[in-house]
Each structure stands twice: as C-alpha cells, then as structure tokens.
Amino acid sequence: MKIIKYPSREKWAEMLKRPVFDSAGLEQSVQAILNDVKQNGDAVIRKYALQFDKAELTEFAVTVKEFGIAEMECSAELKQALKQAKSNIEKFHLSQKEEVKIIETVPGVECWRKSVGIERVGLYIPGGSAPLFSTVLMLGVPAIIAGCNDVILCTPCDKDGKVNAAILVAAKLVGISKVYKIGGVQAIAAMAYGTQSISKVFKIFGPGNQYVTCAKQLVNKEGVAIDMPAGPSEVLVLADETCVPAFVAADLLSQAEHGSDSQVLLISDNEKVITDTLAEVQFQLRVLSRAGIAAKALENSRAILVKDKIEAIELVNEYAPEHLILACKDCETLAEKVINAGSVFIGNYSPESAGDYASGTNHTLPTNGFAKSYSGVSLDSFVRKITFQKLSKQGLEAIGKTVELMAASEGLDAHKNAVSIRLKRS
Amino acid sequence: MKIIKYPSREKWAEMLKRPVFDSAGLEQSVQAILNDVKQNGDAVIRKYALQFDKAELTEFAVTVKEFGIAEMECSAELKQALKQAKSNIEKFHLSQKEEVKIIETVPGVECWRKSVGIERVGLYIPGGSAPLFSTVLMLGVPAIIAGCNDVILCTPCDKDGKVNAAILVAAKLVGISKVYKIGGVQAIAAMAYGTQSISKVFKIFGPGNQYVTCAKQLVNKEGVAIDMPAGPSEVLVLADETCVPAFVAADLLSQAEHGSDSQVLLISDNEKVITDTLAEVQFQLRVLSRAGIAAKALENSRAILVKDKIEAIELVNEYAPEHLILACKDCETLAEKVINAGSVFIGNYSPESAGDYASGTNHTLPTNGFAKSYSGVSLDSFVRKITFQKLSKQGLEAIGKTVELMAASEGLDAHKNAVSIRLKRS
C-alpha cells in the first residue's frame, strides 16, 4: 500500500482514482452472443455451455432431484448459518415495506402510492471458483418479500452439469425453485429476451465478471432494467487511535482478497495507526489462502494521513466508498456526516464481513463512486411505486382553475379542456 | 382510431405495439457533440447555442435581473396557479420522506438506513414551442425536499437570449437559482461533464426530444445516473357504461396533443361506450389548437372492445401504460388489480391533466412499457438510501459463527478472519 501524507486538496482527485476497466473492447463479442441467443434461443445456449463451461446440457432447469442431492451435500452447520443469515436479511428488508398513506392534498383530491413487486425478475449468481451463495440470499429475500411473481436464477454449472450445492440450498431456502444452469453472457441474454425454456424477465440483478457486466449494460440500453452499474469492490476504513490495528488490517485484507482489481483505502489522522496497521496487513497476509490476489489488490491501494477528522470525512465523501468502516472514538457522530457511501460499518466490532453475510443489510452496493447517485439493493429495487389519485367533483373544482391556467400557458388546450368539460357539467 | 373487437390473446402483443423510434441513427452525431463539449467546454456550447437556438450568448447563467423581469411578465393568476400546484406537489412528496428506523436483527446488531439527498443534480427543461414549466415543479420540488445541495436547471433560450418567464418563475418558486440558458445535447453534456461555468452533476432529470433522450442514454452508459429511459407519452382509458364519453374523449385528446408519436388506448366492455367516445373525439378535435398533432397521434391509437373487466385489466397490465384512467363503476376495486402502470386516475373526475399539473402526484412517469420495471419520479429519485450497521461485541458473537462458516464456504478466508480475529480478543 502506498502511504500518502497530508495530501493537498489539488491532489485528491488523482489520489482517489480507481482502477479503470474499459469494457468497450468487449462490446462486440458480447453483443454477438446476445444477438445469437436472441435469434436462436436454447440451441445456442447449449453451444455456449459446452464452449465456456465444458458442460453438455440437455435440460437447463435444476430438477427436484438435484435440489434434494444438494440438501444432502450441504452440511447441517452451513444450513444453520444460511438460516440465521436469511432471518436477519429478512427482518431488515421487511422493515423497508412501505404502508399506503392516503394524502389529501386539497379537500377532495386524494393521492397515494403503492409498492407492487416487479412481476418477473432474474438473478444472476456467478459460480466457478467463488460460488456466491450469499448473494442468493441478498437478492432472493427481497425479491420474495416484494411479491415478485416469477423469480428465476441463472448460475453456471461445472463440466458435469452440477451446480454448487450451497447455491441450491440457499435458493430453496428463500423460495426460488426455478434455477437454470446457464452462466455468462448467454444467461443475461436468456433472461433479457426469453428463450424456449426461459421466460423473459423485466429486471436483472446480480454480480458477474466483465463479460456479464458488459452484457447487463447492453441489455439495459435495450430497455431491460438492471440493479445498478458495476465495478470492482472496495472498502475505505477511517481509523483513529481508538482502533485495533489488527482488526483494521483484517478488514482491509477481507476486501483485498475479492479480486486483484479491488481497492482498499485507509485514512487516519494518526501516523502510528497507519504504520501499525500496515505491519499487521503484512503479518496477516502470509497465511491467507488468497494471498496472491490480496497482495495484488494492495498494490492499487493507499493509506492516507490527514490532519483531522473533518478533512477525513471530506475525503470519504469525495471518494464515495462502497463500504465504509468507521473505527474511531466518535464514530456515531462521524456517521451522521457521511453523504456518499454504499454501506457504513460503525465501531470496532462491525467488520465488513458482518454485512457481507449476516447482519441483515444488503451486500449488493454501488461501487466505483456510484454511491454518489445510486443506492444499494433494497426492497425498493424489486418494486415499482405506482401512484394513484382520486378526485371528487369538489376536488376537481378546487384545483381545476390551476390546471386550466397552467395547461393553457403551456399551449396545451386539450389538457385544459379535459378539466373544463368536467367543470361545465357540474 | 382503429377499433378492434374481441381480439384473441395471440393478437395482444401485435395490437399493443408502440410506435418504435430507434435512436441508433442519432448516436454518432449526438456522441460528437458530447465529446466536443467534454473537451472544449463553454466555447463550443456558445457555438451550438448559435447553431441550434440562433442565440448569441456571452453568459449562460440567468441573472437576478432576468429573474426579476420574468416575475413582472408572469400574470398574477399564473403565479397563483403555480403556487397551488407547488403546494400540492410538496404535500405529496413530503409524505414520501422516510423515518430512520433502527432494526435490531439480533441482540447487539443494529441496522438502519438513511435517505441522503444526491449532492448535485441537473434538471433539463425543454423550451421552444412547449415550455414545460410544470416539469420545473415536478422535478424541482422533490429535489429541494430531498436536500440536494446543488440543483441546477438547463433550458434553451430564444434567439434573443430569453428564457420563458414561467420557467423562471417556477424555478424561483421552488428555490432553484442556478438556471442556465443551454438546451439540447450540449446541455446534457455540460451537466454530465462540467465546464468552466457549469459544475458536473451526479444525476440528470427531465424530458426532451430524441436528441436529448439519446444524449441522456449515452452519458448514462458512462456512469452519470438519469431519471429513467424515455419514450413517447401515452394514456390508456378503461371505461364502462358509467363513464361520460365526452370526458373520456377529452382525456384521450389531452394525451394525443402531446405529439404525433403519442399513443392513446381506449378499452371497454361496452360497444356503445366506444362508439360514443369516438364520435366525441371527432367533435372535440375540431376546435383544438393542436388538432393536427392530435389527429396524427390518433392514427397510432386503438379502441379495443373486450368481453369483461377481467380481460380488460389483464390487457392493462400487459400494456403497462404510463397513465391509466379508470372510468368505471367498480374503479376502486379495479385499481387494486393494477400491477403495471405509472400513475392511475380513478373515477370520472380524475382526468390525467389533474396529475399532469396540480393534484400532487408526479408527472414524470415510465413510458413505453417501462412501468413493468421502473417507477415514476418521486422523492426516492433524488436520494440515496445509505445503510448503516453497528455491532456490539455481543452482536458480533451472536452472528460471528454464521459469518465465519459462510465466508469459509465461499472460499473467502480473509472475510472469515475479520470476524475470527475480533472474537479471539473477546
């Protein structure tokens, strides 16, 4: 990690730069696969499954029998863990339900909005070396709470046509029965356009490699909604003399192990905190199974010494981290000053991993500075809030003149007339 | 309007098709302007203002003096109307504020989320023949309620460098003081990238012609958030024998006058309702100032006779209209069955124009079937919901084992370690 001491404000932009990945180079090949699936459906999905996953598939849907085998393969401990995580995620996302409130803006004019689940949603879960079954909970739980009618899940299988057992157990646990053994760009295409065996969805969620990300962007341009734009994962830890350097180091490493393009930032107003934490990072790194990846990510990473907490929080808001850990004595006060972040972890006993798995908050969060304009996934992501209004004759009389005047001033006579014709009959 | 009687279900998709506009042909010329502004800033904006708006500009910002002149030019009646509309929009959008609720998912694990206004937002308001000052209220009111720090507004000026007075009065009324005389693609570019005189924003809102729409799509791909994908405006009226055909006709026409690419649909289970309404449409059309545009839009439009209300509502949900008017005796029951729509108008005294201007609901709504996956603009559109969590030692102990197990099963040792290292110190 590069140490930067007391950077001047002009240097912030350069210092906070993220590793850039330009997907433009992939677009052509990704678009070709999308088009192919759009035109040829299931047949070419089989072709790509053979090409990319080395799997010879006849059926895509995971069978009841396969769900049963997965249940048996999954340890009782892991099942118990999934249940606790699900229960917490459920509690927090249930609290995001919105009651219908009827607002009478003027007597006789009632307005309200109602959350209605998106009818058909598709979840993409990467498989391979890191089967993210935790993401099945993070996306599946709110989808089910939202009342989405049709929730399908695509995930690649191994060369024997097998899907990771924990992914299937998690899917069943949240109530998703339609799981398809399709990965990569072809999965995004199948969900976006529909094929003989997969029905088209209206919104696609989930992480993926650069090809999947590019495919999501391209189908989004065609009108299929997606959860949010994606980028490499990142954490920013703001620590002062009350932190435990070993804890901070562990948090930095837990982010760094995600991928060589991950970025971790440490900000402190105390030089010893930085020195001690970086020493701990080196010490802990040695025994990690993904030490190579983490070491590579640390090369993109920075420890920044600032003059005080005010400057520190300004830097936080400028960077807009996906994850922000506040390991400071005044962490609650600092948390109130956060304007741009995906999710905030407060105090020495709130590691990012808690939120990644089981505290209850969602782990699908805006990366790459997108926290400046996007929220993480929540119940909101799975509903539309439809507005309703009901005017009585009296209500229309109360606002009728306003509507007529504004419509006429905008040059929209027919808009005006829709009110006038009603008022005349009064 | 084409009349279709008792269409079979296989014909629905064809019958519900929208007028298609493919912006791909524009992309190159729009991208060129975007790039030009990105590289050359203010200077080329002046060039484009001269080219497209025939205006020779030195400064873009509307001055205090110009705001003052607009105040004088705007009639007292229109000002009063704007105030009533603003007050209603404010009441409804204020009701969308979310209280912070702290959820203790397990003892010692507290999770909550907080809505924080997007720091910098840009509103685009078309000028020219239809100066949409009502949209200034619809976007400006929630932006200010959300607490967005910096709200800027771009709108084209006429050849004398003048902005429509009502647009300025509406801006001032909601509390927006930064108005720039910039229109078209160059306005979107200025807000997306920033120039010498305009600061970059994080999210862009507002309607526009096909060039503006295309520009919004392209900057969105580069990471600037936008309100929603756009398409021509539309209304679907579901009417039965209790409707007033003259009212329904007025509603259809108020949508049709928006543009020749607008689409209006009438659905009824009663043939006389259709016949009478279409006769009324012809009768009312004659006196409209925008009769030519409306007549053209009616060519794209359909009246559909169905066997009953159940089929009618299925058709509604399949079409997913931007605006849905229910002029039926059982309109409240039917409203509960609506799954896909932007905004719903219930009963004979709830014309679409009421919501377009002054009832309180937002008029920036998903068109083109996007109501299947997108909501209209609301307070939510101007905030991010940041999640927070605070775990006590006891809280981490309660979920620690779950996190450790899940992390290890996902092959993420460092994630596990961030918990283990804390539990060991307990």
- For the stretch A276-326, pLDDT in tens is 999 999 999 999 988 899 999 999 899 999 999 999 999 999 999 999 999
User: Residue A293 is encoded by which pair of tokens?
Assistant: 């990846």
Summary mean pLDDT of chain A:
95
* CATH 3.40.50.1980 holds for A231-375: yes
Strand partners, B120: B150
Strand pairing report for B120-124 and A109-117: unpaired
Interface contact flag, B250 A166, Cβ < 8 Å:
no
CA–CA distance, A153 with A139 (Å, rounded to integer): 10
Res B198: pLDDT: 96
CB A37 within 8 A of CB A182: no
Q: From A250, which residue of chain B is nearest by alpha-carbon distance?
A: B418
pLDDT tier for residue A260 given thresholds of 50, 70 and 90? confident
- Name the residue among A358, A317, A371 with its Cα closest to residue A137: A358
The pLDDT of residue B354 is above 80: yes
- Domain B23-226, what fold? Rossmann fold (3.40.50)
* B322 carries an active-site annotation: yes
Q: Where are the alpha helices (DSSP H) in B257-347?
A: 271-285, 291-299, 309-319, 331-336
Res A90: pLDDT: 98
Element holding B87 (H helix, E strand) = helix B76-94
Domain ranges of chain B: 23-226, 231-375, 401-425
pLDDT in tens, A14-71: 999 987 777 778 999 999 999 999 999 999 999 999 998 888 988 999 999 999 999 9
User: Residue A366 is encoded by which pair of tokens?
Assistant: 């805006």
User: Residue B51 is encoded by which pair of tokens?
Assistant: 């080219």
CA angle A86, A87, A92 (to 5 degrees): 100
Res B425: pLDDT: 83
Widest Cα–Cα separation across chain B = 83
Q: Which one from B93, B258, B323, B363 is the annotated catalytic residue?
A: B323
Interface contact flag, B253 A418, Cβ < 8 Å:
yes
Torsion of CA B131, B136, B139, B143, to 10 degrees: 150
CA–CA distance, A351 with A355 (Å, rounded to integer): 8
How distant is the Cα of A394 from the closest Cα of chain B, in angstroms? 9
CA–CA distance, A403 with A401 (Å, rounded to integer): 5
pLDDT tier for residue B19 given thresholds of 50, 70 and 90? confident
The residue of A141, A148, A285, A388 whose CB has the most chain B CBs within 10 angstroms, and thus the best one to mutate to test that interface, is: A388
Q: pTM value? A: 0.96
CB B134 within 8 A of CB A117: no
Contacts of B413 in chain A (CB under 8 A): 257, 288-290
CA–CA distance, A198 with A123 (Å, rounded to integer): 13
Phi, psi of A4 (to 5 degrees): -120, 125
User: Residue A147 is encoded by which pair of tokens?
Assistant: 């009342």
Interface contact flag, A349 B395, Cβ < 8 Å:
yes
* Range list of β-strands (E), A78-158: 103-106, 109-117, 120-124, 150-154
CB A80 within 8 A of CB A233: no
- Name the residue among B358, B366, B361, B384 with its Cα closest to residue B146: B384
Higher per-residue confidence, B54 vs A104: A104
- Give B418's contacts (C-beta < 8 A, 6+ positions apart): A247, A250, A251, A253, A254, A351, A352, A353
Res B372: pLDDT: 98
CB atoms within 10 A of CB A385: 16
How distant is the Cα of B189 from the closest Cα of chain A, in angstroms? 17
CA–CA distance, B230 with B152 (Å, rounded to integer): 21
pLDDT in tens, A105-145: 999 999 999 999 999 999 999 987 678 999 999 999 999 99
